Amino acid sequence: MARKPKALAKATWFTYFPDDYRWSAAISILCSMANWGGASMGEIDQVGRRLAKKIGDDNHWFREWERMGDRLRDLGLASERKKNNLSAADFHKRACMYYQLGERFRTPKDKKAKACYRKALDCFARFARLTDRARIERVEIPYENGKKLPAYFVHAQNTKKAKPPIVVYFDGFDVSKEIQFVFGAEDLIRRGISVLLVDAPGNGESIRFRNLYLRHDHEVAGSAALDYLEKRKDVNVRRAGVMAISLGGYYAPRNASMEKRFKACIAWGAQWDYQKIWKDRIAAAYKTALSVPGHHLTWIFNVKTMDEALVKLEGFKLGGVVEKMRCPFLLVHGEDDQQISTRVARQLFNAVGSKDKTLKVFTGKEGGAQHCQMDNVALAVSYMSDWLKEKLKA
């Protein structure tokens, strides 16, 4: 049976909208981003107060976050004109996050949604050019049939190594390389590890503008990323790790199991049989904890019905795959995760073939107990970054 969310009014985490898991989860993501300058608590609350007038209306959600994104983008452009580049970078960074979190519930992606996402990408490009906190390259990874995967290469800091370790960082079910930059990239580079942030098929730009749809053999993207990195002279591909969030708990372990060039793996959130999870969600008429509307699944597979999507999900199972993993493995989960139970986490952890493996379950008492620690992301990011520093010998 599908795991029903606990009464949000009694939850162990902050819920801006107690009766709406999806909206509250998205607000929690933005609140966590404030730790890295990806959002402002005051701006979140300004939008939240307006959203409270029409809770559950995703068109209202889209309009209000785009409105705040436009406001921050205007401030960023004005700062650029005055040569106040650091202020401009901060404004553009927040604008990008507001645009993307506002657009994520709007499916299928119409002209307004795509126009909003393009503004987000433009804002991130301006942030990358103007910031003094990271050196960010926009890169293209050769993929299949002449297509390419959009990515960012973020250079390591605080190291004398000409070829520092590298982490290939994939997204999840409904996030992007820009969001993943905020969630951890700066922590990794400060520890002497370079980061390659990739919009794999089914995510970000890859699906919106390149028609690259979700596929079960995610290691194709992982191998493409490593092939690209092997041609660079500023990374040590022999010390390459892979990590991903949420549905990335399927992506990263599959990559590390099928692509032996990866020397460390982090599953930020557990997965095991993703087809079963969706069968349970459908049987419960989607009255479960979902981060996006249910029809998001048909969009990322480019199919018309949920039955067709379920067929596509047949390959999204880690049984018989993760037993092949040999590199160090870290699984990070929350004990009160309302989307994926700790039972699934233990099933994955027990099956992984690596001798060096760690299961970290964050509790409600310490914080970080929710899905992918969205009630306290900073705790998880510090833990994972230190683990990768040790395993990749940064």
What pLDDT is stored for residue 2 in this prediction?
43
Which CATH number does the domain housing residue 75 bear?
A: 1.20.1440.110
Q: How many domains does the chain have?
A: 2
Q: What is the pLDDT of residue 190?
A: 98
Q: What pLDDT is attached to residue 13?
A: 66
* 144 belongs to a structural domain: yes
Q: What is the C-alpha separation between 17 and 19, in angstroms, rounded?
A: 6
Q: Domain boundary at 75, 110, 132, which? A: 132
Domain that holds residue 145: 134-394
Q: What is the pLDDT of residue 88?
A: 98
Residue 175: inside a domain, yes or no?
Answer: yes
Are residues 170 and 278 part of one domain? yes
Same structural domain, 93 and 115: yes
Same domain, 162 and 259: yes
Which one of 117, 132, 147 terminates a domain? 132
Query: Do 145 and 285 share a domain, yes or no?
Result: yes
Q: How many CB atoms lie under 10 A from the CB of residue 291?
A: 22
Structural domain contains residue 4: no
Clarify whether residues 79 and 152 are in a common domain. no
Q: Indicate whether 394 belongs to any domain.
A: yes
pLDDT of residue 12: 55
One domain, residues 233 and 368? yes
Last residue of a domain, one of 70, 98, 132: 132
Give the CA angle between residues 72, 73, 79 to the nearest 5°. Answer: 90
Judge if 289 and 300 occupy the same domain. yes
Strand order in the sheet with 262-268: 136-142, 148-154, 194-198, 166-170, 240-245, 262-268, 329-334, 357-362
The reply to whether 161 and 28 lie within a common domain is no
252 token code pair: 């990263």
Do residue 24 and residue 91 come from a single domain? yes
Confirm whether 73 is domain-assigned.
yes
Report the CATH number at residue 333: 3.40.50.1820
Cβ-based neighbour number of residue 168 at 10 Å: 29
Query: Do 46 and 33 fall into the same domain?
Result: yes
* Structure tokens, 260: 């032996």
1 within some domain: no
Do 37 and 168 lie in one domain? The reply is no
Mean pLDDT by groups of 10 residues along the chain of 394 residues: 43 79 95 97 97 96 98 98 98 98 92 98 98 98 96 98 98 96 98 98 97 98 98 98 98 98 98 97 88 92 97 98 98 96 98 98 94 95 98 94
Q: Are residues 115 and 160 in the same domain?
A: no
Whether 9 is covered by a domain: the verdict is no
In a domain, 270, yes or no: yes
State the pLDDT at residue 328: 98
